[in-house]
């Protein structure tokens, strides 16, 4: 994208993070379909989670669950449920994360939200509300996760093109967690598959009243 230099300087003046951070998380990061061969350490993945979990959720319910797919055997099982166009990417990514939401988050309220623990039985009785809160808040957390991965120097490739029931049968056999996104992760290799797609102008997507 062409950027007016004066406008860019003015933009940076509005931020409390430096240009490098704004670029790494938002402005220059790209969704990736291929990566360098570098392996991603458990320490890096732990850092991604340590950042992700700090973002706010309703009542602090934190429904997001992450399954890091490392073994060749688990990778094959996951790929078998991916849409055709996603199989190759998920086979070749250095590491893959399955993002799920825990529908039984109310069981942890005494830990996550002691002030609201007395409401646990009300939530226990309302499956629809509990599932809806889990799904919505885990999607908010998916936003944190993608930016956290970038903060740890990873290029993310989020996908929803997979058979969720199949992935749940393989990886969420406890039944209480539901997979909603698969994210390929690795170090950026600089390959640009296509120009960045258009972002909506502020006068299209925002209004002031």
Give the helix ranges, DSSP H, for 96-194: 109-112, 120-124, 127-151, 164-171
50 binds a second copy (CB under 8 A): yes
Contacts of a second copy in 90-129 (CB under 8 A): 108, 111-113
CB count within 10 Å of CB 113 equals 19
- Residue range at the interface with a second copy (CB under 8 A); choices 26-34, 83-91, 119-127: 26-34
Size of the site for a second copy (CB under 8 A): 77
17 binds a second copy (CB under 8 A): yes
CB of 169 to a second copy, least distance (A): 14
Contacts of a second copy in 76-95 (CB under 8 A): none
CB of 172 to a second copy, least distance (A): 10
Run of H or E including 50? helix 42-52
Question: How is 8-33 classified by DSSP, letter by letter?
Answer: HHHHHHT-SS-HHHHIIIIIS----S
165 binds a second copy (CB under 8 A): no
From candidates 65, 81, 89, 106, binder to a second copy by CB under 8 A: 65
Please tell me the distance from the alpha carbon of residue 90 to that of residue 111, in angstroms, as a whole number: 35
- Residue range at the interface with a second copy (CB under 8 A); choices 61-69, 80-88, 119-127: 61-69
Q: By the 8 A CB rule, do 187 and 35 touch?
A: yes
Look at residues 56, 59, 68, 90 and name the one whose alpha carbon lies nearest to residue 163: 90
2 binds a second copy (CB under 8 A): no
């Amino acid at each position: 994208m062409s950027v007016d230099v004066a406008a860019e300087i003015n933009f940076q003046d509005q931020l409390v993070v430096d240009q490098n951070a704004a670029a790494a998380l938002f402005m220059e990061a790209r969704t990736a379909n291929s990566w360098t061969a570098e392996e991603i350490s458990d320490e890096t993945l732990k850092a991604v989670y340590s950042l992700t979990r700090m973002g706010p959720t309703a009542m602090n319910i934190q429904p997001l669950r992450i399954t890091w797919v490392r073994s060749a055997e688990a990778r094959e099982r996951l790929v078998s449920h991916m849409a055709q166009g996603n199989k190759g990417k998920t086979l070749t990514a250095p590491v893959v994360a399955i993002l799920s939401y825990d529908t039984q988050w109310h069981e942890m309220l005494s830990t996550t939200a002691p002030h609201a623990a007395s409401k646990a039985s009300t939530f226990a009785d309302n499956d629809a509300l509990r599932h809806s809160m889990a799904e919505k808040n885990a999607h908010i957390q998916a936003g944190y996760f993608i930016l956290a991965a970038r903060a740890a120097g990873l290029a993310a490739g989020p996908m929803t093109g997979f058979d969720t029931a199949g992935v749940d049968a393989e990886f969420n056999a406890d039944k209480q967690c539901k997979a909603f996104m698969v994210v390929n992760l690795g170090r950026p290799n600089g390959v640009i598959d296509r120009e960045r797609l258009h972002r909506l102008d502020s006068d299209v997507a925002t209004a002031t009243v």
